[in-house]
Structure 1
Amino acid sequence: MSVVGVSPVCNREAISVDEALATAHAARRACRDLPAHVRMSALRNAAASVFDKREMMAHTIVAEGVKTIREARREVDRCHETLLLAAEEARRLGGECVNFGQSAASAGRIGWWERRPLGVVVGITPYNDPLNLVAHKIAPAVAAGAPIIIKPHPRTPTSAHELARAFSGSGLPDGAIQILEADNTQAMELVSDARTSFVSFTGGKQAGEAISRQAIGKRLALELGGVCIAAVASDADVPRAADALASGIVWAAGQNCVHTQRIFAERAVFEQLAQSLTDRLQALRWDDPFSEMADYGSLISEEHADRVHAQIVNTCSRGATLLVGGRRFGRRLEPTLLTGVPDDHPLAREEIFAPVATIEVVDSLTEAENRAADNGAMINSAIFTNRLDSILSWHNALDTGATIVNDSTDFRIDAMPFGGNSSAGLGREGIRFAIEAMTEPKLICIRT
């Protein structure tokens, strides 16, 4: 276990969970009392550092993760935007006056409320976006005035360390930002400790459930994913839909919590869409991930590749048809599209986290809605149509955090509320919404 030292010092000295928590706990008042302009400046300076080191940070993401160099550069650019967005939200963090004169019992009083940080924040991040998802924990904590301890995924810790270094010399108090490389047992110590006030987790459902059991009495934000579903109506622009869906299938080699996993197409466009998607996925190039020619990367581990490939083989044995892909070469899995997958198969019911999708024909959007709704909660769903009534019907029928229209399920900007309902998550990411979750109103009432 190691730490990127308390900001602004950035090294990787081994410390204990208790030491990290003690340091963060001691920094609470200094972080809270830091003027907004200092927080804003720290975030802007960090953004400038990320921008200046764009290529180095992109290479770091590729070296230890799952992305191609072009995907990694986009992640660095988004991290830069996330930090600048947080600086602007720090400016807006405030409160409002309360009209105590509205009641005779409270006449002669004045007062106001403002948002104050809850206390120590613990952020636990996954491997698929090892820089920007860390930024989505650190940036709102800095804007809110809360010290934060980040526990990055053990396979991709370096990006988190680099982001912490971007805050070096920014004027934040010692203990404002710590990066703690910890195992699962130590992570649960962080979550359950009385000094932790807020836990923000992005990852799988099983880990999220374990965290929620340990975090009794803590505020929580859980982004847990789900099977994201897209519907393509008979009036859709099929080439446009195929382009968007292909991207949604292969971005980060499908290791994305809003990866497009299930597609329903109305009968009138099914054959055209299936062929268009097959052609696009077949044309994608696998190469050295540092190569500008690489269109998609590899899975995070051999074990994960084994599991995914076994699912493909199993569903084909149950009558599914492989339209494209399906072959595995070490950690690399070809972009894969299947049809005829049973609704009860894990490829239809469970998040696959790989460049694998299914496409099925439906006789109506109502049938697509019913089958999608039966899949349970998800973060994003998508629909391709130009009919407003179809859009609203789809949006209202599904348990989804967002409905994306005429684009892939994996569309996101860092300002939007992001997260799933019920089993797909708790709360929302997105800087403004994360700041609100990390703070609470505090009121003062003065009798004049």
Structure 2
Amino acid sequence: MRAMPPYERQKVLNHCVTRFTERAEELAQALCIEAGKPIKDSRGEVTRLIDTFRMAAEESVRIEGTVMNLETGARSKGYRGQYRRVPIGACSFISPFNFPLNLAAHKVAPAIAAGCPFVLKPASLTPIGALVIGEVLAETDLPAGAFSILPCKRDGADLFTTDERLKLLSFTGSPDVGWALKAKAGKKKVVLELGGNAAVLVDSDADIDDAVARIVFGAFYQSGQSCIGVQRILVHADVYDTFRDKLVAATGKLISGDPADENTFVGPLIAESEAERLTDWIGKAVDAGGRVLCGGGRDGAILEPTLLENVPRDQAICTEEAFGPVAVLSRFDDFSGALDVINDSAFGLQAGIFTRDLYRMLEAWDRLEVGGVVIGDVPSWRADNMPYGGVKDSGLGREGVRFAIEDMTEIRNLVIRVP
């Protein structure tokens, strides 16, 4: 892999783009059946899979170094320097169930671009997409041993973390598991993309109808199973009642049910136990004084899109990651105080701010303890080329094709003395 010239790596990645495009509907249908993801969301994820490999193909021939001026003082007169990036070595990848195609792609495609062999453990509940990626890679001229796709249970994956031949571990999943893996990873570099309980703030000057439309999407797309799904909604007191009523009305129109139905927006959670957990959290929030505005009902693994208000901030539905179709509304009077509320979280992945005030936008960017601040939209928005990742319990390191390539390469200096 290290010896493959960049244009050959690009050829492999372009082959994947072509084949994934040809197999797009097959991939979408498999994802819908395997994960219960609504078919529209499944097709959207296939599109992102293709985009991520396309971006990696473009970046594969841009991994460059630079010439440095080392003559910064008399002692370094006659010295010249430059550096380049070289592959870090074999990488270990563990991907999650909620975006089994695109989040695997964010590991696999940059590794190929960088020239790193890899082993990938897909989520045990959703391995099919990763195996299709492996099928397509097997059609290329990658050298023997360049990749392995190994579906297995978590307790069978210890070597993904501890094997010293692996020079980087990239894990996407739950915080408890991620930090435990980091503690066992030894000397290897570790990148963690973990959980969140993302907040969105709606200021008094926001376009309410636009904010409602985007927040309905952000809270309930993917059946809420997204680490940047909207979970906490802070709304200025001046517009709270109007916003709440419109949000409840829009949420009530969402269709739950069969993920294969083109009209379904909210499908089943990955397991009935997850729906049971959220039902329990909702019940405890109500017992503590919260009020259900809509939803709350459960049919097996399907939980109705649910909105609550007046929930004490120490409840699990506010402090933990819901990872399902539930969001909590609260009102605020002071913008700076609302930023403090957003920061009052163990997590720090992304936050969304609906405001037209430039200075408030900059204050949010300066003060929010998150990996990304999204203005005029929900924290659930992500482009696959941007640096994406979190702080605090939400992880460390950044994904996004170019930034992942940087993690998968090391800088190697060259110093030349001219006598």
> TM range, normalised to the smaller chain?
over 0.9
Q: For residue 130 of structure 1, what is the aligned residue in structure 2?
A: 100
2-side partners of 1:294 and 1:431: how far apart?
31
2-side partners of 1:100 and 1:233: how far apart?
51
Match of 1:240 among 206, 210, 224: 210
Q: For residue 37 of structure 1, what is the aligned residue in structure 2?
A: 7
Amino acid at match of 1:208: G
Q: Helix, strand or coil: the match of 1:260?
A: coil
Q: For residue 297 of structure 2, what is the aligned residue in structure 1?
A: 327
Amino acid at match of 2:145: G
Q: For residue 344 of structure 2, what is the aligned residue in structure 1?
A: 374
Q: For residue 236 of structure 2, what is the aligned residue in structure 1?
A: 266
Q: Helix, strand or coil: the match of 1:85?
A: helix
Amino acid at match of 1:343: R
Match of 2:57 among 78, 87, 91: 87
Kept in 1: contact 2:257–2:268 (CA 8 A): no
Match of 2:309 among 334, 339, 342: 339
Kept in 2: contact 1:264–1:359 (CA 8 A): yes
Deviation of 1:366 after TM superposition, in Å, equals 2.1
Residue by residue over 1:210-255, the C-alpha shift from the partner in whole angstroms, topping out at 9 and shown as x without a partner, is: 1011112110100112110011001000010000000011111101
1-side partners of 2:370 and 2:340: how far apart?
14
The aligned runs of 1:27-176 (5 Å cut-off) are 31-176=1-146
1-side partners of 2:242 and 2:138: how far apart?
53
Q: For residue 378 of structure 2, what is the aligned residue in structure 1?
A: 408
Q: TM-score, with normalisation over the residues of structure 2?
A: 0.97
2-side partners of 1:270 and 1:370: how far apart?
19
Kept in 2: contact 1:287–1:293 (CA 8 A): no
Deviation of 1:112 after TM superposition, in Å, equals 2.2
Q: For residue 183 of structure 2, what is the aligned residue in structure 1?
A: 213
2-side partners of 1:297 and 1:395: how far apart?
34
Q: For residue 163 of structure 2, what is the aligned residue in structure 1?
A: 193
Q: Helix, strand or coil: the match of 1:207?
A: helix
Residue by residue over 1:245-271, the C-alpha shift from the partner in whole angstroms, topping out at 9 and shown as x without a partner, is: 000111111010101000010111101
1-side partners of 2:158 and 2:194: how far apart?
17
Identity among equivalent positions (%) equals: 36
Q: For residue 293 of structure 1, what is the aligned residue in structure 2?
A: 263
Kept in 2: contact 1:376–1:399 (CA 8 A): no
Q: For residue 224 of structure 2, what is the aligned residue in structure 1?
A: 254
Tell me whether 1:360 sits opposite 2:326 in the alignment.
Answer: no
Q: For residue 282 of structure 1, what is the aligned residue in structure 2?
A: 252
Q: Helix, strand or coil: the match of 2:46?
A: helix
Residue by residue over 1:136-189, the C-alpha shift from the partner in whole angstroms, topping out at 9 and shown as x without a partner, is: 010010000000111111000000011122223322111222111122233222
Kept in 1: contact 2:308–2:329 (CA 8 A): yes
Deviation of 1:283 after TM superposition, in Å, equals 0.2
Deviation of 1:446 after TM superposition, in Å, equals 3.3
Amino acid at match of 1:326: G
2-side partners of 1:195 and 1:441: how far apart?
19
Kept in 2: contact 1:246–1:281 (CA 8 A): yes
2-side partners of 1:334 and 1:393: how far apart?
36
1-side partners of 2:158 and 2:83: how far apart?
34
Residue by residue over 1:367-396, the C-alpha shift from the partner in whole angstroms, topping out at 9 and shown as x without a partner, is: 211211112432110110100111122222
Deviates more, 1:345-354 or 1:172-181: 172-181
Q: For residue 434 of structure 1, what is the aligned residue in structure 2?
A: 404
Deviates more, 1:202-211 or 1:367-376: 367-376
2-side partners of 1:258 and 1:369: how far apart?
17
Gaps of 5+ in 1: 1-30
Q: Helix, strand or coil: the match of 2:167?
A: strand
Deviation of 1:304 after TM superposition, in Å, equals 1.0
Deviation of 1:409 after TM superposition, in Å, equals 1.1
1-side partners of 2:336 and 2:40: how far apart?
38
2-side partners of 1:169 and 1:104: how far apart?
56
1-side partners of 2:114 and 2:212: how far apart?
41
Deviation of 1:399 after TM superposition, in Å, equals 0.8
Q: CA RMSD in A?
A: 1.2
Gaps of 5+ in 2: none
Q: Helix, strand or coil: the match of 1:292?
A: coil
Q: Helix, strand or coil: the match of 2:60?
A: helix
Residue by residue over 1:88-120, the C-alpha shift from the partner in whole angstroms, topping out at 9 and shown as x without a partner, is: 111110111233444443444444211011111
2-side partners of 1:152 and 1:376: how far apart?
27
Deviation of 1:78 after TM superposition, in Å, equals 0.5
Q: TM-score, with normalisation over the residues of structure 1?
A: 0.91
2-side partners of 1:128 and 1:380: how far apart?
18
Say how many residue pairs are matched: 418
Residue by residue over 1:310-336, the C-alpha shift from the partner in whole angstroms, topping out at 9 and shown as x without a partner, is: 111111111111001000000000000
